[in-house]
Amino acid sequence: MKSTVKSTCCYCGVGCGILIETENKRITGVRGDPDHPANRGRLCTKGATLDQTAPLTYRLLTPSKVLRSTGKRSQISWDAALDEAATRFAEIIRAHGPDSVAFYISGQLMTEDYYVFNKLAKGLIGTNNVDTNSRLCMSSAVAGYKQTLGVDAPPCSYADILQAKVIFIAGANPAVAHPIVFRYIEDARAANPDLKIIVADPRRSESAEIADLHLPIKPGSDIALFNGMLHVLINEGLVDRAYVEAHTSGFDALADIVKNYSPEQVAALCGIPAEAIVQAARWFGASEASLSLYCQGLIQSAHGTHNNAGIIHLHLATGQIGKPGAGPFSLTGQPNAMGGREVGGLSNLMSAHRDLANPAHRAEMARFWGVPFVPANPGKSAVDLFKALKTGEIKAVWIACTNPAQSLPNQAEVRAALQTAEYVMLQEAYANTDTAAYADLLLPATGWAEKHGTVTNSERCITRVVSALPAPGEARHDWEIVVDFAQRLGKKLQHPNIDNLFPYSDAESIFNEHRESTRGRDLDITGLSYAKLESLGPQQWPFPEGATRGKTRLYEEGIFPTADGKARFVAVEHLPTADSTTPELPISLLSGRMRDHWHGMSRTGTVPRLFNLEDEPLLAMHPCDMRHRNLESGDLARVANARGEMTVRVAERPGLQRGRAWMPMHWGSQFMNSPGANAVASDATDPYSLQPELKHAAVQISKCTLP
Ligand SMILES: Nc1nc2c(c(=O)[nH]1)N[C@H]1C(S)=C(S)[C@@H](COP(=O)(O)OP(=O)(O)OC[C@H]3O[C@@H](n4cnc5c(=O)[nH]c(N)nc54)[C@H](O)[C@@H]3O)O[C@H]1N2
Ligand SMILES: Nc1nc2c(c(=O)[nH]1)N[C@H]1C(S)=C(S)[C@@H](COP(=O)(O)OP(=O)(O)OC[C@H]3O[C@@H](n4cnc5c(=O)[nH]c(N)nc54)[C@H](O)[C@@H]3O)O[C@H]1N2
Ligand code: SF4
Ligand SMILES: [Mo]
């Protein structure tokens, strides 16, 4: 039987709609969904090859117990697996308290999966130790929006790209990481020859190729650049005084600070010409509509929150927000990082943008869930969670839909922590990720095309995902595994209300409960349902009861969700990167993405065509740095610092400055004899968002001569 099912691409936060064609429960093709507002039928290479990831060769298909010392796996039933897991969790919780267990989950789960994980930890067990790979990904964007605009809500839409007159891309490489967004940028360029595009990136990235002005700033010097641009805006009368007066607070304090950020001073801090800073500020400030697009170059930094505030300031100072073609648009990385933020799926967040630190909000959620209380103390965030596993403060961890033995920085510490942990559960769709080697129990999850639920993309747009294929082998949906486990654990812990806490028989009932939790909040979706998402198509939040469509643009009236209704300027100053280069560690190693691969490659690594651009791990270097070390393209180099080392082939690449090197984050122990870039990456974190500085590591690079 033939059928076509509407779904989404499971890779990036653009959130493209996909039509999956099946015949007799097999995929016969994938196409971009022409009706989906995110992509209107387009797909990039990764989306277009999704059907080729369907074979089950590398999938995890049965629950297994693993003898960690030998790695030997033995198949067990779901009943035995979940009973064992619930027993171990109950024993540990009884002996050491709720904070001795933790959950490390993912922005690639569905909102419904995420919701039940959060309720299990914060509601049933009573620990806030539930953090996610979004800590590595979006937490400084969350903190940056909250510090300035009041809540975590990207105010823009993809439609703004076509209406912008200036596009400022800072610390993002959408040509590679958000390809369909980049198609919109190309469309905007084709439609408007006067469009100005500015790219701030220490590398001449693929996206910089389209720029009218590329600012190859020193790694980590973005705040200096933004403060310098504000300095110019003030001096040249390009600040919208009326907007600042009516809709913001804190401008004068920041204006005082930026007096010390003249173009000449900033030129020295950023390593770019003063004229370039003046040019960028003039274009940004004089334009009718300036849009900024930013991502990990600003976010993955030990001062990421202030990087985000710094770029948002430029919009507030010029009134470039809340109108077509304008605004600070943080591109989300993972397909459902936004959904995770909505259900409060980080250790310091609460459901529906509630604040964990607010006792009234905690009491509201405890009542809503029917539990005695939600604990007050923030849980451990990703880096600290793994540190606590190593010291034994946390004894058991349940990891789902993420691969921390590759993606967390300072891998020697992370792997030691996993080794030390008393009990590690891994819920995965694939069998052999780097983390699988550390698990005591493997639980098979359904994956793309099999899953169902809802996801929210970068522009706050919620799409319903429908299963196109049955679950393979014994795999179960992530939410089902959580609900089954929660019922078992609740009984073992003799929770008074366990019969009512996890009553869900389908994903829709979870969605409906989540929806109710948003009533009256900034992200109110009480007007949505599975049926409406089907009849109206994907919708942007907020979508309160009675609404007929979602909201394209936030803050059009200049009123912000803060106590006084005003957006805030934050007093931000330039800070050095966590790792400073020294004569012993002279090279700043940057890491990030390639167009055709996704993170640890459990899926893209199975598609031969996706190795066409680069088929092995390569470290890109400046030719002078190579000559200095007697290296030629193709030679092996040793890259090292106090945290670890890797051996990798080097390649001369245009677009890097001296003293900077580049390595994709995708290559891990499946492809190299080291964990890759995170062998050396820094785990220093931002004080507000607790996000680690994955983007920069100071390293030594030397020629590696093998016998
Ligand atoms: N193909 C592909 N696409 C993806 C993903 C993938 O794995 N593969 N992952 C998705 C996810 S989860 C995410 S979070 C996004 C990430 O999307 P992006 O953030 O756009 O991608 P990255 O390559 O991580 O980093 C972007 C750029 O930041 C630059 N950069 C490094 N340091 C600095 C700095 O100090 N300042 C500035 N201004 N720039 C700096 C890097 O040189 C790089 O070009 O991509 C998403 N899309
Ligand atoms: N050095 C450096 N490190 C980085 C970054 C960087 O730029 N530089 N970027 C960081 C960022 S932004 C991110 S988002 C992280 C990403 O890091 P990870 O989250 O570790 O990356 P993935 O490989 O996407 O891991 C997702 C896993 O879930 C599995 N999976 C897929 N679908 C399902 C499902 O439906 N259910 C379950 N249970 N499992 C499933 C996949 O097989 C895969 O192994 O990496 C971070 N690490
Ligand atoms: S742009 Fe992102 S969501 Fe769209 S097809 Fe490509 S990877 Fe998938
Ligand atoms: Mo990410």
For residue 705, pLDDT over 90 is answered with: no
Q: Which run of H or E residues covers position 589?
A: strand 587-592
The pair phi, psi for residue 403, each rounded to 5°, is: -130, 70
Q: Which residue has its alpha carbon closest to ligand 1 atom 14? A: 333
Strand ranges inside 250-407, DSSP E:
290-294, 327-330, 349-350, 354-355, 396-400
Test site for ligand 1: of 201, 229, 301, 602, most ligand atoms within 8 A of the Cβ = 201
Q: What is the mean pLDDT of residues 473-478?
A: 98
CA distance readout (Å), 378 to 95, 130, 237, 421? 21, 10, 44, 21
Confidence (pTM):
0.97
Q: Pick the atom of ligand 2 nearest to 134's CA.
A: 14
For residue 707, pLDDT over 90 is answered with: no
Distance CA 240, CA 285 (A): 9
In contact, 148 and 313? CB cutoff 8 Å: yes
For residue 208, the CA-to-ligand 1 centroid distance in Å is 13
Q: What is the mean pLDDT of residues 70-88?
A: 97
> What confidence category does residue 366 fall into, taking pLDDT thresholds of 50, 70 and 90?
very high
Among all bound ligands, the one having the nearest atom to the CA of 304 is 1
Q: Is 176 in the pocket of ligand 1 (CB under 6 A)?
A: yes
For residue 326, pLDDT over 90 is answered with: yes
> What confidence category does residue 347 fall into, taking pLDDT thresholds of 50, 70 and 90?
very high
Q: Mean pLDDT for the chain?
A: 96
* Model confidence pLDDT, tens digit, residues 498-555: 999 999 999 999 999 999 999 999 999 999 999 999 999 999 999 999 999 999 999 9
Q: What is the mean pLDDT of residues 304-330?
A: 98
Residue 155 token pair:
């105010």
pLDDT of residue 128: 97
pLDDT of residue 124: 97
Q: Is 47 in the pocket of ligand 3 (CB under 6 A)?
A: yes
Q: Is 410 in the pocket of ligand 2 (CB under 6 A)?
A: no
Among all bound ligands, the one having the nearest atom to the CA of 114 is 2
For residue 706, pLDDT over 90 is answered with: no
End-to-end CA distance of the chain: 59
Q: Which residue has its alpha carbon closest to ligand 1 atom 9? A: 333
Q: Which residue has its alpha carbon closest to ligand 1 atom 4? A: 177
For residue 450, the CA-to-ligand 2 centroid distance in Å is 19
Test site for ligand 2: of 106, 142, 399, 579, most ligand atoms within 8 A of the Cβ = 106
Q: Is 296 in the pocket of ligand 2 (CB under 6 A)?
A: yes
Q: What is the mean pLDDT of residues 545-571?
A: 96
In contact, 539 and 549? CB cutoff 8 Å: yes
* Model confidence pLDDT, tens digit, residues 593-627: 999 999 999 999 999 999 999 999 999 999 999 99
For residue 184, the CA-to-ligand 2 centroid distance in Å is 26
* Model confidence pLDDT, tens digit, residues 655-681: 899 999 999 999 999 999 999 999 999
CA distance readout (Å), 86 to 105, 309, 381, 424, 631? 18, 43, 23, 12, 54
Q: Pick the atom of ligand 2 nearest to 408's CA.
A: 47
Q: Which residue has its alpha carbon closest to ligand 1 atom 42? A: 203
For residue 286, the CA-to-ligand 4 centroid distance in Å is 33
SS3 189: helix
Q: Which residues pair with 148 in a beta bridge?
A: none
For residue 47, the CA-to-ligand 3 centroid distance in Å is 5
> What confidence category does residue 116 fall into, taking pLDDT thresholds of 50, 70 and 90?
very high
Give buried/exposed letters for 538-573 (b at 16+ CB in 10 A, else e): bbbbbbbeebeebbbbbbeebbbbbeeebbbbbebe
Nearest alpha carbon to residue 105 among 92, 117, 88, 87: 117
Q: Is 574 in the pocket of ligand 1 (CB under 6 A)?
A: no
Q: What is the mean pLDDT of residues 554-560?
A: 97
Test site for ligand 2: of 50, 178, 403, most ligand atoms within 8 A of the Cβ = 403
Q: What is the mean pLDDT of residues 190-205?
A: 97
Distance CA 22, CA 676 (A): 37
Q: Is 46 in the pocket of ligand 3 (CB under 6 A)?
A: yes
For residue 110, the CA-to-ligand 4 centroid distance in Å is 15
Q: Is 201 in the pocket of ligand 1 (CB under 6 A)?
A: yes
Q: Pick the atom of ligand 1 nearest to 590's CA.
A: 31
Q: Which residue has its alpha carbon closest to ligand 3 atom 6? A: 44
In contact, 648 and 617? CB cutoff 8 Å: yes
Q: Which residues pair with 351 in a beta bridge?
A: none
For residue 654, pLDDT over 80 is answered with: no
Residue 279 token pair:
């040019």
For residue 48, the CA-to-ligand 3 centroid distance in Å is 8
For residue 50, the CA-to-ligand 3 centroid distance in Å is 10
For residue 219, the CA-to-ligand 1 centroid distance in Å is 13
Residue 68 token pair:
């960690």
Q: Is 182 in the pocket of ligand 3 (CB under 6 A)?
A: no
For residue 429, the CA-to-ligand 2 centroid distance in Å is 12
Among all bound ligands, the one having the nearest atom to the CA of 46 is 3
Q: Which residues pair with 478 in a beta bridge?
A: none
Distance CA 590, CA 664 (A): 8
For residue 249, the CA-to-ligand 4 centroid distance in Å is 31
* Model confidence pLDDT, tens digit, residues 395-429: 999 999 999 999 999 999 999 999 999 999 999 99
* Model confidence pLDDT, tens digit, residues 124-180: 999 999 999 999 999 999 999 999 999 999 999 999 999 999 999 999 999 999 999
Q: Is 515 in the pocket of ligand 1 (CB under 6 A)?
A: no
Q: Which residue has its alpha carbon closest to ligand 3 atom 4? A: 16
Q: What is the mean pLDDT of residues 390-399?
A: 98
Distance CA 426, CA 411 (A): 18
* Amino acid identity for residue 331 in this structure: L
Test site for ligand 2: of 334, 385, 408, 602, most ligand atoms within 8 A of the Cβ = 602
For residue 602, the CA-to-ligand 2 centroid distance in Å is 9
Q: Is 680 in the pocket of ligand 1 (CB under 6 A)?
A: no
State how far Cα 251 lies from the chain centre. 30
In contact, 462 and 1? CB cutoff 8 Å: no
Q: Is 539 in the pocket of ligand 2 (CB under 6 A)?
A: no
Q: Is 451 in the pocket of ligand 2 (CB under 6 A)?
A: yes
For residue 653, pLDDT over 90 is answered with: no
Torsion angle defined by CA atoms of residues 118, 120, 126 and 132, in that order, rounded to the nearest 10 degrees: -40
pLDDT of residue 445: 98
The dihedral region occupied by 685, where left means phi > 0, alpha psi between -120 and 50, and beta the remainder, is beta
Q: What is the mean pLDDT of residues 587-594?
A: 97
SS3 88: helix
* Model confidence pLDDT, tens digit, residues 217-275: 999 999 999 999 999 999 999 999 999 999 999 999 999 999 999 999 999 999 999 99
Q: Which residue has its alpha carbon closest to ligand 1 atom 40? A: 297
For residue 214, pLDDT over 80 is answered with: yes
In contact, 350 and 377? CB cutoff 8 Å: no
Q: Which residue has its alpha carbon closest to ligand 2 atom 24? A: 599
Test site for ligand 3: of 8, 14, 595, 666, most ligand atoms within 8 A of the Cβ = 14
Nearest alpha carbon to residue 296 among 621, 689, 642: 689
If DSSP states are collapsed to H, E and C, what string results for 494-508? CCCCHHHHCCCCCHH
Q: Is 180 in the pocket of ligand 3 (CB under 6 A)?
A: yes
Biggest distance spanned by C-alpha atoms of the chain: 73
Distance CA 427, CA 444 (A): 6
For residue 426, the CA-to-ligand 3 centroid distance in Å is 26
